[in-house]
Amino acid sequence: MKPSEITPEMVQFLRDRHLATLTTLRQDGSPHVVAVGFSYDVEQQRARVITFSTSQKAKNALLGGRAAVSQVDGGRWLTLEGVAHLVTRETDPEHLTAQVRNLALTQPEADETLSHGMACFGIVGGKKFAYVSVDHHNDGKTALLVKISGAEEQAMLIDSDADRYYRPAYFGDGWIGIRLDLGDTDWNHIGDWIAKSWRAVAPRKLTKLMDVAGEF
């Protein structure tokens, strides 16, 4: 069943606690079926199952294959199908957004707003210096978007590590996307990127005050 086909009655059924089954595919393509409990996120249209990273279903999810979760209650049943994803603390969008938030809001006169569904950080009454993109336009990425000098720097970064850096859609040459969901994020490095981006948009008066404060 497609998420768009789910009715309010079906959502209530999904929220009721019933034992369900989760079917994932092993590396050889054979199905692995196990009893589970799950939660359903209406806004993100995702079913979530808590498990250990060493379990067979987690290993199967890491392969990114198809999966199905089925819930049964007497003569009523419902099956959701989709692609399996293994989400750990190092790849969880909420955790990654919180990490960026902690770094961004330490910048002078920084505040947070919501822009096109993304957490957005800017200078109060001024320009924006960072965004957190989570599956933007279904691109499957959780990334930090920050200011850069232009097309040349953007191309250089992408050439240096195309898995980590990318050109964010609709942002142009003055921004770079930095993947946060690869499992090996260097948060000191991310902090440096955020500080650099903040400085790129901050009023000169504010950066001069910061430079003077840094001398003491």
**109 and 194 share a domain?**
yes
What's the pLDDT at 201?
Answer: 93
Residues in the chain: 216
**What is the C-alpha to C-alpha distance for residues 199 and 203, in angstroms, rounded to an integer?**
8
Final residue before a domain boundary, out of 52, 83, 114: 83
CA angle 29-31-34, nearest 5°?
A: 150
Query: For residue 38, what are the domain limits?
Result: 3-83
State the pLDDT at residue 18.
80
**pLDDT average per 10 residues of sequence, the chain (216 residues):** 77 85 95 92 84 88 91 89 86 92 94 94 94 91 96 97 95 96 92 96 82 57
What per-residue confidence (pLDDT) applies to 213? Answer: 56
The last residue of one of the domains, among 83, 107, 127, is 83
**pLDDT at position 91:** 84
In a shared domain, residues 73 and 112? no
Question: In this structure, is residue 31 part of a structural domain?
Answer: yes
Identify the pLDDT of residue 16.
82
Domain containing residue 74: CATH number:
2.30.110.10
- Asked if 29 and 120 sit in the same domain, the reply is no
Residue 107 sits in the same domain as residue 193: yes
Read off the pLDDT of residues 52-108 as tens digits, 9 standing for 90 and up. 878 999 899 988 899 999 998 888 889 999 999 888 878 889 899 999 999 999 999
Taking residue 22's Cβ as centre, other Cβ atoms within 10 Å add up to 22
The domain tally of the chain equals 2
Q: Which of these three, 83, 109, 140, is where a domain ends? A: 83
Looking at residue 17, what is its pLDDT? 79
Answer for the pair 51, 37: CB distance below 8 angstroms, yes or no. no
20 and 114 together in one domain: no
Cut 0.75: pTM above it: no
Write down the pLDDT at residue 187: 95
Listed residue (78, 91, 97, 72) closest to 183, CA to CA? 91
212 in a structural domain: no
